[in-house]
Structure 1
Amino acid sequence: MLIGYARTSTLEQKASLEAQRESLRALGCERVWEEQVSSIAAREALSEALSFAREGDTLVVTKLDRLARSVKHLGELIEELEGKGVSLRVLDLALDTSNATGKLMMNVLGSVAQFEREMMLERQREGIAKAKAEGKYKGRRPTAMEKADEVRLLLADGVSKKEAAGRLGISERSVYRIAGDSG
């Protein structure tokens, strides 16, 4: 059985999720799990797809970065799949781990993908450092601190810290910080 898995990082990427779903269905995936979570968040749909997969099945993804967050994570997933007798197919790379060549190429491409990600993050850090040095990057505006007076008024009126946070749309931690409490 072909089992599909589709993922996007944000809710704004609905078109990408739909495109992945269409590609997986067109290939013949009988079941498709999908979710919209970042790669570092818990991915329940992926866990469900892995649990569902049985010997002889193939897990299909449209792109490698939709599945694994790192080479290590990719290795762990492939090991789990192999342990169950399940192969992995990545459509945009035409890779299939049901054969030795596919397994080799998956490891090589996973390493390249991780390298690219690390280089992108390094360039991003360099860009931010340069912008800060030029005075162009100030970071995020401290929105919670702008509401400090409102927080103090609500607390003085007997409103709980949790309720004040909810009413003002800021974190409870920020309310504690404004109130001067440690937690």
Structure 2
Amino acid sequence: MAVYGYARVSTTGQNLDAQLAALADCDHIFQEKRSGADKDRPELENLLNTVRAGDIVKVTKLCRLARNTRHLLEIVELLDEEEVGLQVLNLGIDTTSSTGRLLLTMIGAVAAFERSLLLERQAEGIAIAKAKGKYTGRQATARAQSDEVLELLQQGHSKQAIADKLGISRSSVYRITKDNNE
């Protein structure tokens, strides 16, 4: 049985010191500086590929491990399939017990509920600001370049080359093309 730690911060300006200190008793600590929203987290993948039956994974907080409830439950399910326990230090949760698994699921659900409330409040605030004329939203940067996109298309450039040249997404190039054809 091995005990693995996982430590993550979102930006290079942040440091892992507090997490590493809390995980000091682990046999090995996987660490990275990546956004939790980033699906591509190589060290998390390495951890998940390394653990074996009977191992334990420790994290200091749930938010260091997963970006949302669904992702959390996917990770927990993966660990369960491998018969690997998860310990969340700040909450005292240990999924090797039924109570720990229940608590983890409940906390994940509450976190998702809080996130949806936040998004609702944000939408309400935006609606109020729009009604007062104080919120105009993000400027349409790609559509402002429609003429350039169409000209480059006529010159025979690929959609990807146009996107790269103008600093817009390829889907924006397709959207502009579609709008022009209608």
Structure 2 distance, partners of 1:172, 1:53, is: 39
Q: For residues 167-178 of structure 1, what are the structure 2 equivalents within 5 Å?
A: 167-178=165-176
Match of 2:76 among 62, 75, 78: 78
Equivalent residues of 1:162, 1:172 under 8 A apart: yes
5+ residue gaps, structure 2, are none
Structure 2 distance, partners of 1:176, 1:152, is: 10
Structure 2 distance, partners of 1:83, 1:174, is: 41
Match of 2:62 among 56, 61, 64: 64
Structure 1 residues 100 and 153: CA distance shift in structure 2, 3 A: closer
Structure 1 residues 82 and 135: CA distance shift in structure 2, 3 A: same
The one-letter code sitting in structure 2 at the alignment partner of 1:112 is V
Aligned to 1:135: 133
Which digits, 9 at most, give the CA deviation of each residue in 1:32-82, with x for residues without a partner? Answer: 153624437355543332221112211112211222344454344333323
Match of 1:148 among 140, 146, 149: 146
Aligned to 1:165: 163
Taking structure 1 as the reference length, what is the TM-score of the superposition? Answer: 0.76
Structure 1 distance, partners of 2:44, 2:78, is: 12
Aligned to 1:116: 114
Task: Give RMSD over aligned pairs.
Answer: 2.9
Equivalent residues of 1:39, 1:69 under 8 A apart: yes
Secondary structure at the aligned position of 1:59 is classed as: strand
Give the aligned length: 179
5+ residue gaps, structure 1, are none
Structure 2 distance, partners of 1:106, 1:37, is: 22
Structure 2 distance, partners of 1:96, 1:135, is: 50
The one-letter code sitting in structure 2 at the alignment partner of 1:119 is L
Structure 1 residues 17 and 58: CA distance shift in structure 2, 3 A: farther
Structure 1 residues 136 and 59: CA distance shift in structure 2, 3 A: same
The one-letter code sitting in structure 1 at the alignment partner of 2:4 is I
Aligned to 1:28: 26
Structure 1 residues 181 and 36: CA distance shift in structure 2, 3 A: farther
Deviates further, 168-177 or 21-30: 21-30
Secondary structure at the aligned position of 1:116 is classed as: helix
Which digits, 9 at most, give the CA deviation of each residue in 1:84-106, with x for residues without a partner? Answer: 22111112223222334433432
Which digits, 9 at most, give the CA deviation of each residue in 1:103-149, with x for residues without a partner? Answer: 34323322322222222122122112222222222121111122233
Structure 2 distance, partners of 1:181, 1:18, is: 52
Match of 2:101 among 85, 103, 122: 103
Taking structure 2 as the reference length, what is the TM-score of the superposition? Answer: 0.77
Does residue 50 in structure 1 map to residue 48 in structure 2?
yes
